[in-house]
Structure 1
């Protein structure tokens, strides 16, 4: 199960596979909006936590089956909780030489469009729309009671230079914060 990319979540099939797995690895790989991401079921003792694992898998099923909608909610939450930090970090003149700016605009244009790319580089402004286009879900850690942490990265590490962003939410669609580390 650990190398297989799950396109859909069959809770009982995964539980059975985990029962047979001698290593009881808590990580799965799933297809999220056409990209492979890692999911941590976050358990220590499979036998003792099987009911909690089943609940986490049910929540994962909801997330994966509605990944387009959840991706938007996660990016909206990142905008709410992380954008200000991203804007603070976004300073291309500190990270790029003058001769690199046209190439940076060209790279950004492919992601955010020409007008936004020029604003980002020439005015050092990072809009909410551009920010949400630049970030993507990297992994999800499922916790107790329907809570989860989502790790995000920015495309080509243009904003956070390899730092990881986190958004904290629950299966009810409520988000409680965001942060970055690394």
Structure 2
């Protein structure tokens, strides 16, 4: 799966009349060391500019310093992803149980038992692909939460939308993984 490129700090070389530490426009009559560095991270950038792994861009004179990435947590295993779906259902007061074939099914909503349980059908590969799509958003910085939390937020919303979608159909439905997440599909059209 695609990972985000390594992040980097850019340190720009000063030109005449700029503070060499922060590029603050200085006045020759003012002591450049007297002004405060308020930009978050300037101390790190200044420390890093002389590291051996920095690279100077030939035309601009900018220095690129790699920021080491934190070790990414491994993706959850299939059992953990299935447990997260059950947990998401519980958060929405859905009773979810394991079916005979190993699939999940919604058996109750709140205190009301369903006459026809709603099967949740997916393969391990579909579930992992679904997780990875959501986790990639978090890893790219598009999501407001870390990957696993973002998974729980979006997947649980998709699950509840799928349950409501099943209500709108006039025939028995199953919940499957689609390109946009969990969705209600008429049972006669399910391909799992």
TM-score normalised by structure 2 residue count? 0.29
Give the helix-richer structure, 1 or 2: 1
Larger relative contact order (Cα-Cα within 8 Å, sequence gap ≥ 6)? 1
Answer with 1 or 2: which has the greater Rg: 2
Taking structure 1 as the reference length, the TM-score comes to 0.30
